[in-house]
């Protein structure tokens, strides 16, 4: 493994709670006015790819296993999973407005999902959530990596807290647009080992092959 330290990302307003509260406030208004559920990060194809992958893991994941979505936003990932028959679904987000939006959508779509306001970087919040067979994150580790104060420490806290949330035989599914597969494996290697990579579309530029998003599945070490 490459021994070079991971280079931190440049901080951004996407790493702040204020940014997300403001953006979900607008999204709630749009939902109320036009029924628009808002942004599904990395598009619906990424979401569908992950759900199809989970469905193929019947030997490891049962439909009533506890599943949590970290930084669930509008909760559309969980709504789609509920439609596919998964019944023990929890979504958390540190933005109360995101949780309000997700609750309104799930009520209107007539699916049962538990939503909670919780900060993934707050140990007592995380401890109160319990443990899960599947921990899913699409875009939230990316947002935490853009934290304006000491993103490296924030990433470390996140990694320890996800380790606590995951059951011993559980799977942690992480989708990122900011980190490569190699960087993710290196950042998580102390607590997690790579179980599988969910293939995502790749592009070729100047002879090099790259991916716009990376989806990896980790197991607890």
Ligand X SMILES: C[S@@+](CC[C@H](N)C(=O)[O-])C[C@H]1O[C@@H](n2cnc3c(N)ncnc32)[C@H](O)[C@@H]1O
| Measured distance between the N- and C-terminal CA atoms of the chain, rounded to whole angstroms | 17
Tell me which stretch binds ligand X (CB under 6 A): 4-12, 103-111, 127-135, 139-147.
139-147
Would you call 2 helix, strand, or coil by DSSP? Answer: coil
Q: Is residue 139 involved in binding ligand X (CB under 6 A)? A: yes
Tell me which stretch binds ligand X (CB under 6 A): 115-123, 163-171, 192-200, 201-209.
115-123
* Residue 17: Cβ within 10 Å count: 13
Using CB under 6 A, pick the residue from 41, 115, 179, 218 that binds ligand X. 41
Angle between helices 76-83 and 96-108 (to 10 degrees): 30
Using CB under 6 A, pick the residue from 106, 140, 161, 214 that binds ligand X. 140
Angle at 153 between CA 149 and CA 157, to 5 degrees: 120
Distance CA(21)–CA(95), nearest Å, equals 5
Using CB under 6 A, pick the residue from 68, 73, 132, 174 that binds ligand X. 73
Q: Is residue 31 involved in binding ligand X (CB under 6 A)? A: no
Task: Answer whether 135's CB lies under 8 Å from 162's CB.
Answer: yes
Tell me which stretch binds ligand X (CB under 6 A): 57-65, 69-77, 181-189, 195-203.
69-77
Q: Is residue 95 involved in binding ligand X (CB under 6 A)? A: yes
Distance CA(29)–CA(6), nearest Å, equals 39
Residues touching ligand X, count (CB under 6 A): 18
CB of 9 to ligand X, least distance (A): 13
CB of 121 to ligand X, least distance (A): 5
Tell me which stretch binds ligand X (CB under 6 A): 54-62, 113-121, 187-195, 199-207.
113-121
Would you call 148 helix, strand, or coil by DSSP? Answer: coil
Burial zone of 37 (CB within 10 Å; 0-12 exposed, 13-18 middle, 19+ buried): buried
Point out the residue whose Cβ comes nearest to ligand X: 71
Render 28-96 in DSSP notation, one character per residue. HHHHHHH------TTHHHHHHHHHHHHHT-TTT--TTS-EEEET-TT-HHHHHHHHTT---EEEEES-H
**In this complex, which beta carbon is closest to ligand X, that of residue 125 or of residue 196?**
125
Q: Is residue 144 involved in binding ligand X (CB under 6 A)? A: yes
Q: Is residue 192 involved in binding ligand X (CB under 6 A)? A: no
Q: Is residue 120 involved in binding ligand X (CB under 6 A)? A: yes
Q: Is residue 146 involved in binding ligand X (CB under 6 A)? A: no
Q: Is residue 94 involved in binding ligand X (CB under 6 A)? A: yes
């Amino acid at each position: 493994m490459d021994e070079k330290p991971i280079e931190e990302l440049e901080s951004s307003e996407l790493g702040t709670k204020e940014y997300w509260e403001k953006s979900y406030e607008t999204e709630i208004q749009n939902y109320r006015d036009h029924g628009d559920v808002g942004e599904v990060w990395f598009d619906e194809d990424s979401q569908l790819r992950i759900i199809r992958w989970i469905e193929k893991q019947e030997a490891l994941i049962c439909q009533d296993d506890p599943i949590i979505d970290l930084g669930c936003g509008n909760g559309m990932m969980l709504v789609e999973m509920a439609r596919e028959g998964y019944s023990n679904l929890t979504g958390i987000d540190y933005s109360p407005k995101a949780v309000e939006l997700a609750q309104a959508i799930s009520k209107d779509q007539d699916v049962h999902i538990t939503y909670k306001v919780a900060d993934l970087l707050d140990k007592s919040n995380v401890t109160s959530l319990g443990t899960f067979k599947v921990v899913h994150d699409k875009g939230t580790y990316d947002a935490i990596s853009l934290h304006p104060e000491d993103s490296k420490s924030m990433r470390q806290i996140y990694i320890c807290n996800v380790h606590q949330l995951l059951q011993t035989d559980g799977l942690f599914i992480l989708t990122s647009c900011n980190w490569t597969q190699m960087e993710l494996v290196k950042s998580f290697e102390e607590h997690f080992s790579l179980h599988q990579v969910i293939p995502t579309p790749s592009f070729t530029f100047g002879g090099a092959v790259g991916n716009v998003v990376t989806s990896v599945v980790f197991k607890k070490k």
